[in-house]
Amino acid sequence: MIYRAIGVMSGSSLDGLDIAFAEFQENAGQWSYEIREADCYSYSNEWIEKLRTATSFTALDYQLLHVEYGHYIGKQINKFISERNLHYQVALISSHGHTSFHVPSQKMTAQLGDGAAIAAETQFPVVTDLRALDLAFGGQGAPIVPIGEKWLLGDYNYFLNLGGIANISFKAEPYIAFDVCSANRVLNMLANTAGKEYDDRGQMAEKGKINEDLLSDLNSLDYYRQSYPKSLANDFGTNIVYSMIRDSKIEMHDALRTYVEHIVVQINNAITNANHSITTPITPPTLPSKLLATGGGAFNDFLVQQLREELNKLNIDVIVPEENLIKYKEAMIMAFMGVLRWRQEYNVLSSVTGAIRDSIGGALWIGQEA
């Protein structure tokens, strides 16, 4: 069976709206995929500000933004379809939206981007609210991309996404994954202080020196002592981590270098600690393992270099794939989750999120005429 779907993702780094048109084929329970078209539509400064400050809106203004952003997503999808000449090829749209609130302890998560508005604009079936049911079942609602890694990307032992938040998946029994630390969101905020959108290839961080006092303080944050399943809200990076770095008053290059080191340390710790608790180890430490690194941070050459040097000590090879998979892995997996939702099959793994069971997550909006 062949499915052609569009996946839409907006990450916490606020770099833009990722849209991927992918083809999925299922044959005797085995899945394959191809990203046929993909693009990132950068946000205007106005949209960046709206999404960045949404959690401070009144209830009414937040709901109005939810609807407005849904219509915006729908219009961007229509633009994507027209620019790529995908008319009569798309069967389904699956939109993650943009996470605003994420409070697993109270079984609540919220993603901006009203599904009804997207369906009305595109007139396609649309799947949204992919995390909500898992939260209702007591899970973290995150990470959710491991379902796609499990079925579509089976050649690796670890999957690392270096997005606004870094998260990691372990191809183990049971399959586990969790958020590691804030990543690009904090790095970008530091680069912004120098008038840069981001630290291109990590060149600014490479010029800095590690501030050991700040590094120690960052590594001592309570979150890192929690066991999985666990997940992070955006404000962990923006309100807690960035505030610590700002208050340290260290020079910008040193701040970037220190935070790169922090990310590397936490990824190393995450792998080491989790492997000690997994029932069936990934591979014996004497055998080489492979880690697939994707997300915007995979373009940060300095970060990847430091990560490779550190994980080499664990006999883990860090592999950066072709550009489309780096950029659009999450959007592609959102499309895949929508396909599974359409098939009424599990698309969120409880072994990853800590929910009481696997779930078929997502609200379905039928936008086309009957």
| pLDDT over threshold 80, residue 64 | yes
Half-sphere exposure of 74 (CA within 13 A, CB side): 24
Domain co-membership, 174 together with 320: yes
Q: How far, in Å, CA of 287 to CA of 17, rounded?
A: 39
At 239 the pLDDT is 95
Same domain, 48 and 192: no
Paired sense of beta strands 289-294 and 158-162, if any: parallel
Instruction: State whether 65 and 185 are in the same domain.
Output: no
Looking at residue 12, what is its pLDDT?
77
312 shares a domain with 297 = yes
d(CA 193, CA 199): 11
Q: Could you tell me if 132 and 97 are in contact, meaning their C-beta atoms sit under 8 angstroms apart?
A: no
- Predicted confidence (pLDDT) per residue in 249-303, tens digit: 999 999 999 999 999 999 999 999 988 777 665 665 657 899 999 999 999 999 9
CA dihedral for 296, 298, 302, 306, sign (positive or negative): positive
156: three-class secondary structure by DSSP = coil
Please, are residues 161 and 145 in contact by the beta-carbon 8 Å criterion? yes
Q: How many helices (H) and strands (E) would you count in the chain?
A: 14, 12
What pLDDT is recorded for position 157?
92
Structure token digits, residue 46: 């106005």
Strands 176-182 vs 316-319: parallel, antiparallel or unpaired:
unpaired
How many domains are there within the chain? 2
| pTM of the predicted protein model | 0.89
Are the beta carbons of 97 and 144 closer than 8 angstroms? no
Torsion of CA 57, 58, 63, 65, to 10 degrees: -30
Same domain, 11 and 132: yes
The whole-chain average pLDDT of the chain stands at: 95
- For residue 300, the enclosing domain spans 148-324
The verdict on 320 and 340 lying in the same domain is no
In this structure, are 32 and 167 located in the same domain?
no
Question: Are 179 and 295 part of one and the same domain?
Answer: yes
Q: Are 32 and 354 spatial neighbours (Cβ–Cβ below 8 Å)? A: no
Indicate whether 344 and 320 sit together in one domain.
no
pLDDT tens sequence across 188-216: 999 999 999 999 999 999 999 999 999 99
Residue 281's pLDDT is: 58
In order, the DSSP letters of 288-324 are -EEEEEESGGGG-HHHHHHHHHHHGGGTEEEE---HH
Phi, psi at 67, each rounded to 5°: -70, -45
φ, ψ for residue 84, nearest 5 deg: -100, 0
Same domain membership, residue 261 and residue 359: no
Q: What is the DSSP letter of 13?
A: T
Q: Of 108-117, 138-147, 168-177, 209-218, which range is least confident?
A: 168-177
- What's the rounded mean pLDDT across residues 236-261? 97
Q: What single-letter DSSP state applies at residue 225?
A: G
Check whether residue 8 and residue 120 sit in a common domain. Answer: yes
Distance of CA 133 to the CA centre of its chain: 18
Contact 332, 322 (CB under 8 A): no
DSSP summary character for residue 57: S
Q: What are 15-58's pLDDT values in tens digits?
A: 899 999 999 999 999 999 999 999 999 999 999 999 999 999 99
Q: Which of 367, 369, 299, 370 is nearest to 95 (CA)?
A: 367
Q: Which CATH number do you get for residue 223?
A: 3.30.420.40
Average pLDDT of span 90-94: 98
40 φ/ψ angles, rounded to the nearest 5 degrees: -120, 120
For tokens 């690009």, name the residue.
184
Tell which residue, 80, 154, 147, has the closest CA to residue 341: 147
Kindly give the pairing relationship between strand 316-319 and strand 289-294: parallel
Whole-angstrom distance between the N-terminal and C-terminal Cα of the chain? Answer: 23
The count of other CB atoms within 10 Å of the CB of residue 103 is 12
Instruction: Indicate whether 156 and 270 sit together in one domain.
Output: yes
pLDDT tens digits for 350-362? 999 999 999 999 9
**CA pair distance 235, 101, nearest whole angstrom:** 9
Asked whether residue 85 carries a pLDDT value surpassing 90, the answer given is yes
